[in-house]
Structure 1
């Protein structure tokens, strides 16, 4: 998030409070700063809390944010999945904007109800397996909902396909600009990208494989409140392959030795509600590699983020190891022999 924005925090607060009359007298504090900046808003007199999300300029249009909220409302109305509720401002709109002062894209912000809970414990392996089963179940529930929801094919959300991830129009930046890529790694990743492209074209985008998804359904975006599991952060939601939701669940840990166990747990939960054909399961490594290289691109354009600082040191090297294994399993004989894996 830009320094200009942080220095303009007072104007952000004033603008927000002015647009929600019921927030008069509320306090506001920074919660998280990543793709968006989020704040906790609290009324001292009632202890009621909300989440205020300030979107990065240029990342989404107002129409795209409204479409995100439309899906969240449909989930609340038509499923048992617990997600935050968008809150309208004084003008009746759910997406507000900070007036453009610099001839750049405006800042859009949205208020949500605050959900109680804590993130799942990712340090306990048994707990991790348990929540990955739950995560698979929730993901299947969302996918079933999407295929039954008439508007799901018509809302204005971005498409996450090969072109917008690793191709000519990358939304998160070029994978080639990832951190500390050597010439040898560049050649390796290029062959992997070509292999992914070929396999995804063959896999196709039929409606049983491709549709509206969360696209960032990781444990970090769940809250546990006793026996309830709540889902957060639909900001990246868009049209992509359903199996990409599994790949995103493994973000930044794709290289860990326990990944096969997490995949099995996720599939157990998912297939309790929705069957995945064996032919589709064969491409799970392709989607995991797709996501991993997308994250490499993201790190290249978000080098100052907290996430980048926590993972960047060995990320490219670990990606190289994953890439070599992927090519051994899925690459052509010519590529494997050329790279002397």
Structure 2
């Protein structure tokens, strides 16, 4: 079996490998203190993975808490395990996944540390030079959504959002090397320490996409599991941005991009679910999710009730013309 082969590559002679996530693009396993990620080669070439691992190493060297890759017995960071798959092993992050229903975990302190780590990551990214996908004015569809969008209305909405981004200056405080999928599912918490992982999508992109992605998923879960917490949005941003500001420049332009990327994230998730879910056997919650996302995108409904102008004022970032 391929799982037994993976174990032997990393020095294990007994035990069973445990699947922990059959993800949208990769399959992830666990054994002992290691996590194994199996990736199809038609999605990521070996050089792509090497650049991802170089980013992780650079972040660790700059004090960002990340799960580091581990070499095989062959002294390789990347091992081919078939004609069309690679495996990479990572240190298993200490702690547990983040439970939004536990107030001793999901609280203002977590939001501050989350923002602080992201700010540190964005600052460190300025010092790291690798070859990864890059957003440009000429090719702004970094997420490669246009071929997957079947609705002309949604395609036009997406086009307009990308055009808005073209009006912002490509400065180092707004644009650079980012995680590109930074939500609470890609972090573990161990007492007061967070560890970030899953840099598979890292790219040169607008920094605000990381901020928007974090809030999008945080609000989605918080509003689903703790709807009584009506002040969540304002509390999240206040503490998250205070943490971020300790490590990276916070600007009016950065904040103004967030609502644009919240809507882009919505389109990304809608197209991802359309691509990956079994249309013939949708569960009720999946049908609801698709319908809700489609309606929100087509109507242009803002994501949550956040007043970003108020955030700009509260942080003294200037006025909006």
2:28 is matched with which residue? 38
- Give the structure 2 partner of residue 131 of structure 1: 110
Partner of 2:188: 223
Q: Is the 8 A contact 1:132 1:265 kept in 2?
A: yes
| 1:157–1:239 contact (8 Å) kept in structure 2 | yes
Secondary structure of the 1:93 match is: coil
**Equivalence for 2:149:** 176
Structure-2 residue corresponding to 1:55: 39
What is the DSSP-based 3-state SS (H/G/I as helix, E as strand, rest coil) of the residue aligned with 2:97?
Answer: coil
Aligned partner of 2:121 in structure 1 is 142
Structure 1 residue aligned with 2:315: none
Q: In the aligned structure 2, how far is the partner of 1:164 from the partner of 1:28?
A: 41
Name the structure 2 match of 1:281: 255
Q: Match of 1:202, SS?
A: coil
Change (3 A) 1:116 1:279: closer
Distance change (3 Å), C-alpha of 1:299 and 1:244: same
- Mapped pair 1:109 → 2:87: yes
State the alpha-carbon separation in 1 of the partners of residues 107 and 148 from structure 2.
30
Q: How far off is 1:58 after superposition? A: 1.6
Deviation at 1:59, TM superposition (A): 1.7
Deviation at 1:316, TM superposition (A): 3.7
SS of structure 2 residue aligned to 1:274: coil
Q: Cα RMSD (Å) of the superposition?
A: 2.9
Task: Mark the runs of 5 or more structure 2 residues left unpaired by the alignment.
Answer: 224-229, 308-321
Uncovered stretches (5+) of structure 1, i.e. residues with no partner: 1-9, 43-48, 101-105, 330-341
Q: 2:17 aligns with which of 23, 28, 31?
A: 28
1:36 positional shift: 1.1
Correspondence for 1:292 among 257, 260, 266: 266
The yes-or-no answer on 1:245 pairing with 2:210 is yes
Q: Contact 1:254/1:292 (CA < 8 Å) preserved in 2?
A: no
**Are the counterparts in 2 of residues 164 and 170 from structure 1 also a CA contact under 8 Å?**
no
Residue 89 of structure 1: CA displacement? Answer: 1.6
Structure 2 contact 178–202 (Cα < 8 Å) conserved = yes
Counterpart in the other structure of 2:71: 88
| CA shift for structure 1 position 135 | 1.1
Note the C-alpha offset of 1:252. 4.7
Deviation at 1:125, TM superposition (A): 6.4
Distance in 2, matches of 1:161 and 1:210, equals 11
Partner of 1:69: helix, strand, or coil? helix
**d(CA) in 2 for partners of 1:98 and 1:164?**
34
**Alignment-derived partner of residue 70 in structure 1:** 54
CA drift of 1:118 comes to 1.1
Q: Give the TM-score normalised by the residue count of structure 1.
A: 0.75
Shift of 1:161: 6.2
In the alignment, the residues of structure 2 paired with residue 260 and residue 198 of structure 1 have an alpha-carbon distance, to the nearest angstrom, of 28
Cα distance in structure 2, aligned partners of 1:56 and 1:173: 22
Answer yes or no: is the 8 Å Cα contact 1:173–1:298 preserved in 2.
Answer: no
Distance 1:172 1:123, change over 3 A: farther
Instruction: Please give the TM-score of this superposition, normalised by the length of structure 2.
Output: 0.79
